[in-house]
Structure 1
Amino acid sequence: MKRITKGISNFLNTRLGFVILAVVLYTLKTIYAYETKFNLGVKGSIQTFLMIINPIPVMLLLFGISLYMKGRKSYIFLLIIDFLDTVWLFSNILYYREFSDFLTMVLIKGSGSVSNNLGKSILGILKPSDFLVFIDVIILILLLAFHVIKMDVKRLNWRIPVLISSLAVLLFGANLTLAESDRSQLLTRTFDNNYIVKYLGLNVFNVYDMVKTTQTNAVKSQAKSSDIDSIEKYMKDNYVQPNVEYTGVAKGKNVFIIHLESLQQFMIDYKWDGQEVTPNLNKIYHEDDTLSFDNFFNQVGQGKTADAELMLENSLFGLPEGSAMVTDGTTNTFQAAPAILDQEAGYTSASFHGDVPSFWNRDNAYKSWGYDYFFSSNYYKEKKSYNVGYGMKDKIFLRDSAQYIEQLPQPFYAKLITVTNHYPYTLDKKNQTIEKTDTGDKTVDGYVQTAHYLDQSIGEFMAWLKETGLDKNSMVVLYGDHYGISNNHKKAMSKLTGIKGFNEFNDAQYQRVPFMIHMDGLKGGINHTYGGEIDVLPTLLNLLGVDNKNMVQFGSDLLSSEHSQVVAFRNGNFVSPTVTKVGGTYYNTKTGKVDKKISKTEKEKLSNRVTTELSLSDRVINGDLLRFHKLPGFTTVNKKDYSYKKSTALKELKKARKKNGTSLLAQNDNKSMVDLYQTDAPELSSDK
């Protein structure tokens, strides 16, 4: 035994031994992270084996570089590489906890557009056990510092580092071959980053992501006009005839798009501690003149809110990595709702958001979409008590937006983006009017409080619309942009929903978000059609009497009998009234059980439809193909025609106050109706 111990000790005191030890420790801590910090969906012995060994080839290659160096430099280089790689792993753990995905180059490139107010979120996400991923670095440093392992400064035979590098390449080849045998076309046809990480490792995913990003950039520069032909053919072959009963019923009406931040459908009619969480939304949801959809799903990817906006106003899917608003919003050509309604029906368009204009690159993307006005934080009175997390508190934001809404020439298209119900769901005590839930999950338990606050703000806004008469000539669209509680909180969701063993299937079903279209005189009711955010634009255009037949839109009218009820998720999963796909598993949507009766042909038919639409949409964005699409009667938006400078906007609004102006203010003899807005926001009371 002593001989074995001495042999191991002697080996570890060589540079090669130190490299092997570093690889072993790194592999162990990576397995710990895979198992406890990520949700990779590892199933079966092959996937488990690959998850265990996939860190080895890359780290053997990286750490092995140190063997080409002399003396102390070799050890210092290895420790630096180990530390930097661990920082990247640590960063992914934090990001994954909230977004169930991994960091990408596109996301990092656009981080400046979303960095505002992130500190609070990071502190909310952080767990003490996260720092355990640094333990291998600490162990190696301590072993060297206390001379348990002595640095080997002897010259190493050149054959050893070459052999190690060759071994690393061979191991990776074997890893990839085995992975491909279990998951064919792993690197060429995947929409879920979890697959690449569980089969090949986080470091390989990083390389894959960089290569893919470079290829995407090259696609745009090499795109040509004929590339749009296949897209146009697909649109023509799959065109869905809209519901003629609803065609033009909202023609000439103002349109309010109210963005319900992070609100999930299960909050509708949900009670906690004997109290309705969303009483105002519940009332709207059940009114006879509201079209409500109880099977409406968010379909966002990494872009979250930005993806929701992109789908809602362009009927294009978000990208597999990052946010298209950030990476392509400034340069691409779009045919978005604001520009369409302006050119088709003379609408004024405006977006309202109580945060900095650069968030998600909105100040540039909105110009590409044809928004006339963008009322960001620059337009509102700023005060520390007015803000929470990602911008102004909803009650204050909506109340202060009224001053600009009344100045907009009618008809107008106005989008209001609420933010209070945003992770990490914190609200000061004076605004809390419902108790927290008791799941024991700090991330989740504040959700009902911020959702209740959001609902109160909507109630106040709707009351103002009624007081001013805007409710009579407006269509109000309310939608949840994405999930509020990610699938990393299954225990809490199990307690909130009453579903024992809340699993991947349940999580897919709970991607439902509210979608309501409310208008005086509208033939409403609760519609059980399956659909998602990609379908909103075609639905609204039909209601407004705008023909979308020649447009490139991947959604279809939710009210049409021809509407496909297969709802694609960004990662290639989908849900329909009969089948739900999560990873490689197909479930019966009605029973929640694994569907063993579904044929291979049916699986391929459904999956191919989803992957085809996602791929075609990606081609449109990555290649900027709408610059080649000639839409009859539509003029390409010139971004230079738009300015969101406050002085410029106020000057334009002042012009609209003329005697025969169409704004609410002009129609009321230029007497403001903001004083009709009633809010119980305690911050405003204290100001008075």
Structure 2
Amino acid sequence: MSKLFKKLGASLQTTVGFFFLSTFLIWLKTYIVYKTDFTLGASGPLQEFLLVLNPIGSALLLLGIALYFRGRFSYWIMVLINFLESVWLFANVLYYREFSDFLSVSIMGSTSSVDNNLGKSLGGILHMGDFFVFIDIIVLIGLLLCKVIKVDKLKIKKRFALTMTAFSFFLILTDFGMASADRSGLLTRTFDNNYIVKYLGLNEYLAFNMFQTHKQEASRSAATAKDLKPILKFINSHRTPDNVDYFGKAKGKNVFVFHLESLQQFMIGYKWDGQTVMPNLTKFYHNKNTLGFDNFFNQVGQGKTSDAETMLENSLYGLPSGSAMVNYGGSNTFNAAPAILDQQGYTTAAFHGDVASFWNRDNTYKSWGYDYFFSKPFYPNSENPNYNVGYGMKDKIFLRDSAQYIEQLPQPFYAKIITVTNHYPYDLDKENQTIKPFDTGDNTVDGYVQTARYLDQSFGEFITWLKKAGLYKNSMIVLYGDHYGISNNHRPAIAKLLHKDSINNYDLAQFQKVPFMIHMNGLKGGINHTYGGEIDVLPTLLDLLGIKDDEYVQFGSDLLSPKHPGIVPFRDGNFVSKDYTKFGNQYYVTSSGEEVFPSKDANVKKEIDADQSFVDTTLEDSDKVIMGDLLRFYHPHDFQPVDKKDISYKVSTTDAALKKDLVTQPSSILARNHGKSVADLYKTDAPELKGEEDDTTK
């Protein structure tokens, strides 16, 4: 045994020995991260073998660069490559923990649009154990500096360096060949990054993602009007008739769209600590004048909130990688809800208590045609740290301070209100906590109930003000959850919340449900069991408003239509339909959760294949529309392209425009009250404002 250790020690005194040691260390920590931090779903001997194999090829390839140099320079190149590999691992561990996905070139390139608020989230995501990926580097540097490992100054034979490079490519290609045999169309038909990492590796995923990003950029320059023809054919073949009982029922009404951050459907009616967690939203959901949808799913990808907005406003999916708002929002042509409604006589406005650049909203909203965008500079309270939490102003304060602008909007108006307090890491100061945290033992999950309760209270206060202000009766109020709040990585906690011993992929698919409800005085309400998702919101709202949308490029369809297909594509290519559910490469009967095996039943396979074909085509066609900016070639009847030069979101410009509206369009609540504000009718129990409220009362 001692002779063996002596041989190993002697081998480490050579460049080749240090090369293989570095390769082993990168492989080891990568594999450990695969098994402990990612949920890749490897099943069966082949997939487990590929999980072991795939880090080796890229490690040999990258470290092999150092073999073309000699002496100390060669060693430090290997240390540097190890360090960069570790940073890449570390960053993906943190990102995956929150988003169940891997970093992409687009996400890294769009950091400036989201990094304003990442610091607080990072504190909740980061575990001390995450730094283990850097331990080997520290040890290697220490051994080199202390000369325990001495630098071999002999030049490596070029033949050996070339052999290692060739062998690394051989391993990568072998891995790809075996992966393709197990998962056909791995790089051409799948939308799930987990598959690519599981089969090919984290470095190979990055390389493929870089290729995808380049392809996206090239697709716009290569796109022509002809590319729209097959897409229009597909869309037109799936258009659905209007529901005659609902078409135009909200014509001329104001529209409030409440963007409920991270809120999931299971919270509606959920009881905890002997009380209903969200009494206001639960009551609103079951109101006789509310259409509540209990099979409505989020369909976001890496763009999360921005994907939800893209679907809501455009009936276009988010991208397979990165954010459409960040990458294309400022440059593409859109036929978005704000522009459509603006040309129907509506005033359009968005409200968000954070910086305008977050998710590139300041540029995207101009492309979508929003007349007004009230962001952080419009709210004096936004500079007070006590009035902020996580990703912007606390909802109670934000909504109260938005009233002064809402009352100035000429009617009818379309107002999107983005809440943020119910956002990861679900922190809330003790003064605002009115319910005890969950007891799942998962720190990420347990605070969710407290911020959800706060969101509910905020909404209740807003509705009370709408009634006092005279806006409630003349408005259609739409609420939707933008995406999941608790990611699939928290399975034990999810099981406990759902009162189950354990959960499977069917449960996780069902867990993607988010609230969607439409309320209006006189509307025939009830719980609607139609299967749908965020892609279907725009056509549903346009039909209720009596606006024909037969010419628009939309990939969703009216949820109220008797011919609605009832297929919900997820961004990764999975889906839920009224008959079958596909999630994590497993199939289930949607109504019962019973697992089915298409390979054993020809009829089941036929139906699932048809659903999968629809899902793949609609996702691919939507991507083509966005990446090729194809709507620049398309001109619906009676729709004028947005001229962004006419839109400004500066405070001074907005104030001047609103004052002008009071004279030229005197239909706002403020104008109809002859300049007397109703904003002071807004009452909130926000403890931060208690002194201010007392002063107002006096």
Give the TM-score normalised by the residue count of structure 2. Answer: 0.97
Residue identity opposite 2:416 in structure 1: K
CA distance in 1, matches of 2:491, 2:379: 39
**Is the counterpart of residue 65 in structure 1 residue 70 in structure 2?**
no
CA distance in 1, matches of 2:33, 2:388: 35
**Is the counterpart of residue 473 in structure 1 residue 484 in structure 2?**
no
**Is the counterpart of residue 509 in structure 1 residue 494 in structure 2?**
no
CA distance in 2, matches of 1:361, 1:492: 33
Match of 2:216 in 1: 216
CA contact (8 A) 1:310 1:325 kept: yes
Map Cα deviations across residues 394-435 of structure 1 (whole Å, 9 max, x no partner): 001111100000000000000000000000000011111111
CA distance in 2, matches of 1:50, 1:379: 54
Match of 1:293 in 2: 293
Match of 1:621 in 2: 626
* SS in structure 2 at match of 1:399: helix
Please provide the CA RMSD for this pair.
1.2
Residue identity opposite 1:643 in structure 2: S
Residue identity opposite 1:654 in structure 2: K
Match of 1:529 in 2: 530
Residue identity opposite 1:415 in structure 2: K
Deviates more, 1:463-472 or 1:527-536: 463-472
* SS in structure 1 at match of 2:530: coil
Percent identity over paired residues: 60
CA distance in 2, matches of 1:578, 1:600: 12
CA contact (8 A) 1:58 1:172 kept: yes
Residue identity opposite 1:358 in structure 2: S
User: CA 1:16/1:519 → structure 2, altered by over 3 Å: closer, same or farther?
Assistant: same
CA distance in 2, matches of 1:112, 1:660: 38
| 1:331-350 alignment, distance < 5 Å | 331-343=331-343, 345-350=344-349
Deviation, structure 1 residue 660 = 6.8
Match of 1:586 in 2: 587
CA contact (8 A) 2:410 2:665 kept: no
Match of 2:39 in 1: 39
CA distance in 1, matches of 2:166, 2:45: 27
| 1:199-210 alignment, distance < 5 Å | 199-210=199-210
Match of 2:356 in 1: 357
CA contact (8 A) 2:26 2:85 kept: no
CA distance in 1, matches of 2:661, 2:604: 61
CA contact (8 A) 2:505 2:584 kept: no
* SS in structure 1 at match of 2:103: coil
* SS in structure 1 at match of 2:523: coil
**Is the counterpart of residue 366 in structure 1 residue 365 in structure 2?**
yes
CA distance in 2, matches of 1:132, 1:686: 49
Map Cα deviations across residues 97-134 of structure 1 (whole Å, 9 max, x no partner): 00000001111111101111211100100111111122
Deviation, structure 1 residue 3 = 3.8
Deviates more, 1:512-521 or 1:21-30: 21-30
Match of 2:378 in 1: 379
Map Cα deviations across residues 577-635 of structure 1 (whole Å, 9 max, x no partner): 22110132111222323213463322221111101000000000000000111200111
Deviation, structure 1 residue 549 = 0.7
CA distance in 2, matches of 1:603, 1:237: 19
Match of 1:312 in 2: 312
CA distance in 2, matches of 1:659, 1:152: 82
Match of 1:421 in 2: 422
CA contact (8 A) 2:261 2:483 kept: yes
Deviates more, 1:256-265 or 1:571-580: 571-580
CA distance in 1, matches of 2:605, 2:141: 54
Residue identity opposite 1:120 in structure 2: K
Match of 1:161 in 2: 161
Deviation, structure 1 residue 684 = 1.1
Residue identity opposite 2:676 in structure 1: K
| 1:222-233 alignment, distance < 5 Å | 222-233=222-233
Deviation, structure 1 residue 146 = 4.0
CA distance in 2, matches of 1:412, 1:334: 20
Which of 617, 639, 646 is 1:641 aligned to?
646
Match of 1:670 in 2: 675
CA contact (8 A) 1:659 1:666 kept: no
Deviation, structure 1 residue 42 = 0.7
CA distance in 1, matches of 2:68, 2:260: 57
Deviation, structure 1 residue 235 = 1.6
CA distance in 2, matches of 1:601, 1:524: 36
Residue identity opposite 1:41 in structure 2: G
CA distance in 2, matches of 1:128, 1:8: 32
| 1:96-245 alignment, distance < 5 Å | 96-245=96-245
CA distance in 1, matches of 2:566, 2:105: 34
Give the gaps of 5 or more residues in structure 2: none
Match of 2:564 in 1: 563
Residue identity opposite 2:435 in structure 1: I
Match of 2:608 in 1: 603
Deviation, structure 1 residue 280 = 0.3
Map Cα deviations across residues 243-287 of structure 1 (whole Å, 9 max, x no partner): 111000000000000111100000000111012110000110011
CA contact (8 A) 1:29 1:136 kept: no
Map Cα deviations across residues 477-505 of structure 1 (whole Å, 9 max, x no partner): 01100000000111111111112212222
Match of 1:652 in 2: 657
Deviation, structure 1 residue 390 = 0.6
Residue identity opposite 2:103 in structure 1: L
**Is the counterpart of residue 20 in structure 1 residue 20 in structure 2?**
yes
CA distance in 2, matches of 1:504, 1:125: 24
* SS in structure 1 at match of 2:595: coil
Deviation, structure 1 residue 172 = 1.1
Residue identity opposite 1:90 in structure 2: F
* SS in structure 2 at match of 1:436: coil
Residue identity opposite 1:460 in structure 2: E
CA distance in 2, matches of 1:594, 1:518: 37
Deviation, structure 1 residue 173 = 1.2
CA contact (8 A) 1:40 1:194 kept: yes
Aligned residues: 687
Residue identity opposite 2:578 in structure 1: P
User: CA 1:243/1:158 → structure 2, altered by over 3 Å: closer, same or farther?
Assistant: same
CA distance in 2, matches of 1:647, 1:288: 43
CA distance in 2, matches of 1:600, 1:342: 46
Map Cα deviations across residues 194-246 of structure 1 (whole Å, 9 max, x no partner): 11101110001111111110111001011111111111111211111121110
Match of 1:434 in 2: 435
Match of 1:278 in 2: 278
Deviation, structure 1 residue 136 = 2.6
Residue identity opposite 1:455 in structure 2: D
Deviation, structure 1 residue 189 = 1.7
CA distance in 2, matches of 1:659, 1:375: 21
Residue identity opposite 1:471 in structure 2: Y
CA contact (8 A) 1:298 1:533 kept: yes
CA distance in 2, matches of 1:341, 1:102: 37
Map Cα deviations across residues 644-665 of structure 1 (whole Å, 9 max, x no partner): 0111111111122238710011
CA distance in 2, matches of 1:3, 1:116: 57
CA distance in 2, matches of 1:300, 1:215: 22
Match of 1:496 in 2: 497
